[in-house]
Amino acid sequence: MNGVDGCMTTCIRCLTTAAPEPLGLCPACAVRTRLELASGLRRLTDYLAAWAAFDEWCRARRDGTAFA
């Protein structure tokens, strides 16, 4: 009984270590998951920036938008 709400479960990622509710991740997996999330958000930001640049290019050519 150590979790935020007093409940423990098995880590949903490694399936071997006890993990506190409500996150359900052991400390090691919580760190890995946070790093993957940060990396994913960086990649999503780059992707959306590329779409915005493409949209700007389309508009500059008066060729509609990237979404048309």
Least CB distance from residue 12 to Zn ion, whole Å?
A: 8
Region of 1-9, 19-27, 45-53, 59-67 interacting with Zn ion (CB under 5 A): 19-27
| Of the candidates 1, 2, 5, 27, the residue with the CA atom closest to the CA atom of residue 13 | 27
CA distance 40 to 49: 14
CA atoms within 13 A on the CB side of 24: 4
What character string, x for contact with Zn ion (CB under 5 A) and - otherwise, covers 29-68? Answer: x---------------------------------------
Binding site for Zn ion (CB under 5 A): 11, 13-14, 17, 26, 29
